[in-house]
């Protein structure tokens, strides 16, 4: 069976909720076609803690694929991240109160400025579009904890030449949070069914 790890984050910044936690909890222990073993993992909203947990899981469980989920309230669709930067900077402190100002994630000499996950992005985009979901393709994952996790996982897979398919997806707020979250003008709630269907497709085809 294909072993798929799906990760989400605890709430961060001023948020009391994070819809990626719901997606992870829903998928933990599921299978879609009977050929997948899906493991859900909720990660702390810190710069380095999430990678330590995922790295240990990789070493012990050897997953075939990893799908990381992050929340971005400023996007209008599912967003596939295709580039991670070796940089940490944000208006938010992480859950440990750490607020770096342009610090590198990997401080070793000759560390790579950017990393691209080795994944068939266009194929996955096509599968989503075949199901009526039009994703965004992004070359800027930001410089907060999502980018940090994406960079570190991609680096581990690349450095160790691991046979793991990896993708990072940002999602907007889902519409089941309308009564609990007040969004700024220009930001949207995306239908929960659309988001969950998109994740099912990614799990199936990654």
Active site residues: 81, 146, 170
DSSP letter at 175? G
Task: Tell me the two tokens of residue 130.
Answer: 């075949």
Q: How far apart are CA 17 and CA 144, in angstroms?
A: 17
Q: How far apart are CA 100 and CA 110, in angstroms?
A: 21
3-state DSSP assignment of residue 100: coil
Question: For the chain, how many helices (H) and strands (E)?
Answer: 5, 12
DSSP alpha helix (H) spans, 110-167 = 121-130, 145-159
């Amino acid at each position: 069976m294909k072993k798929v790890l799906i990760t989400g984050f605890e709430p961060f910044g001023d948020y009391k909720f994070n819809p990626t936690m719901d997606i992870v909890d829903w998928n933990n222990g599921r299978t879609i076609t009977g050929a997948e073993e899906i493991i859900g993992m909720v990660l702390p909203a810190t710069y380095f803690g999430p990678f330590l947990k995922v790295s240990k899981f990789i070493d012990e469980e050897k997953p075939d694929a990893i799908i990381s989920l992050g929340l971005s309230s400023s996007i209008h669709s599912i967003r596939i991240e295709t580039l991670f930067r070796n940089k940490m900077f944000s208006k938010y402190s992480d859950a440990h109160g750490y607020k770096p100002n342009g610090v590198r994630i990997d401080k070793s000499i000759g560390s790579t400025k950017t990393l691209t996950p080795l994944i068939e992005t266009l194929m996955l985009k096509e599968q989503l579009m075949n199901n009526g979901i039009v994703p965004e393709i992004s070359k800027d994952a930001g410089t907060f904890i999502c980018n940090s996790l994406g960079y570190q996982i991609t680096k581990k897979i690349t450095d160790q030449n691991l046979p793991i398919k990896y993708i990072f997806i940002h999602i907007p707020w889902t519409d089941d949070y309308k009564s609990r979250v007040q969004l700024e003008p220009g930001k949207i709630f995306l239908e929960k069914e659309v988001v969950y269907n998109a994740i099912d497709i990614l799990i199936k085809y990654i």
